[in-house]
Homo-oligomer: A and B are copies of this chain.
Amino acid sequence: MLLNDRKIRILEAIINDYILTAEPIGSRTIAKKYGLGISSATIRNEMSDLEDMGFIIQPHASAGRVPTDKGYRLYVDRLMRRRELTDEEARFLQSVIANNINQIDYMMQETARAIAVLTKCAIVVSEPQVKKTTIKHIQLVPVDEQAFVMVLVTDSKVVKNHLIYLDQVPDEQALARMSAFINESLRELCVEDIDSSLAKKLASQFGHEEDALYAVLNAIAAVMQSEDDVQIYTSGVRNILSFPEFSDLEKAKAMFKALEEKDMLITLLGKNSSEKIQVVIGSENNLELLEDCSVIKANYHVSGQNFGSIGIIGPKRMDYSQAVAVLNGILKHLSAVIKALSGK
C-alpha cells in the first residue's frame, strides 16, 4: 500500500492532535477540526489503511486512533517542523551557562535544571569522566593542624577537592614544595597511569614527608576511583507527574524508580559520542521500563573535550521540536561562551 500525500496529512493531523490532547482521536474530529476537504467516512478508510501499515493503533475497539512508535518515527523524520529557540528561551539558557562558567562540573547540572523548566520534561545528565582526561595541575592547600586540601585540575577545567587528614600536616612551604614536585612528576599524565609502583618510585625520589606524599597519591587515586563510574544527575523528574500518561500513580512511581536506576540511565544516554542530536522513540531504547518514553539526547564537546551528555525524557507525545531546539541552542551557546572566554 502506498503512503500517499493524503494519508500523510491525516497522520500528521492525528499526531499533532494527540500531542496536544493525549486523547485517542477519531475520524469525525479530524474532519471537523482539520479542514482536509474530505468526509469522515473517507478519513475512516484511510485511517484503516494507516493502521494496517502500522502507523496508528486503536487502544480498544470503540476508541479513536493513537500513533505507534513507527508513526512518531515518521513524524520526527519527515513531518516535524524544526524550529529555533525563541529569544526568551535563548536568553534564559545563555544566562544559565554564563552564570556557571566558573564551575564547569556544576554547570551541566544547572543547565539540566534550566532545560527541565523550559521543556517540562525530566532531564538526565552524565558528567564527563575524569579518567579519560589528563591531570593539568595539583595543588596542596593548608586547612588546619589536622588537614589539608588536595585540589586537582584536569585539562577539561574540571576542579576536584579532596580533604586529607593527617596527624602531622606539613607546613605551607612544605606543601608548596610537594605540590611542585608532584606537578613536575605527573604533569600531563592520564589519571589512569597512577598506581602503587609509581607511588613508591615518587616517594623514594622525594625522600621526605613520605606519609603526606602517599596520602596525596591515594587521594588522587580516590578521586579517580569515584569518577571512574560515570556520574549521573537528574532534574525535573517531578515534571512527569503533569503528563496525563503518568496520572496513574503506579506508572508515576515506576517512572520515578526507573529514573533512579543509574545503570539504566547510563545505557539510555549511550556510549556513542556523535555530536548529532538523537531522538529515541518508545521501545527503540530497548528498555522495558522506559518503553512509554521518548528521549532526545546530545553529547557535548568543546574543543574536542567531552563535557558529558544530556537527555530529555518525556512521554512519546512530547514536544520533539522544542526538545531538539533546546539541545541545539545549548550546543550553540556553550561553544559561544567558551570561545568568548578563550578570547578568540
| Chain A interfacial positions (CB closer than 8 Å to B) | 101-104, 136-137, 139, 141-144, 146-147, 149, 151, 153, 155, 157, 159, 161-165, 167, 176, 219, 222, 237-238, 241-242, 247, 249, 252-253, 256-257, 260, 341-343
Contacts and interface: CB of A to CB of B under 8 A. Distances in A.
Contacts of A238: 237, 253, 256-257, 260
Contacts of A137: 141-143
A162 to B, nearest CB: 5
Contact of A157 (B104, B147, B155, B237): B147
Contacts of A157: 143-144, 147, 163
26 contacts: A101-B163, A101-B165, A102-B162, A102-B164, A102-B219, A102-B222, A103-B161, A104-B163, A136-B143, A136-B144, A137-B142, A137-B143, A139-B141, A143-B157, A147-B157, A149-B151, A149-B159, A151-B159, A165-B341, A165-B342, A238-B253, A241-B252, A247-B249, A249-B249, A249-B252, A252-B252
Main secondary structure of the interface of A (DSSP, over half): mixed
Contacts of A341: 146-147, 165
Contacts of A167: 343
Contacts of A253: 238, 241-242
A149 B153 contact: yes
A141 B149 CA distance: 13
Contacts of A161: 103, 151, 159, 161
A30 B253 CA distance: 33
B222 A241 contact: no
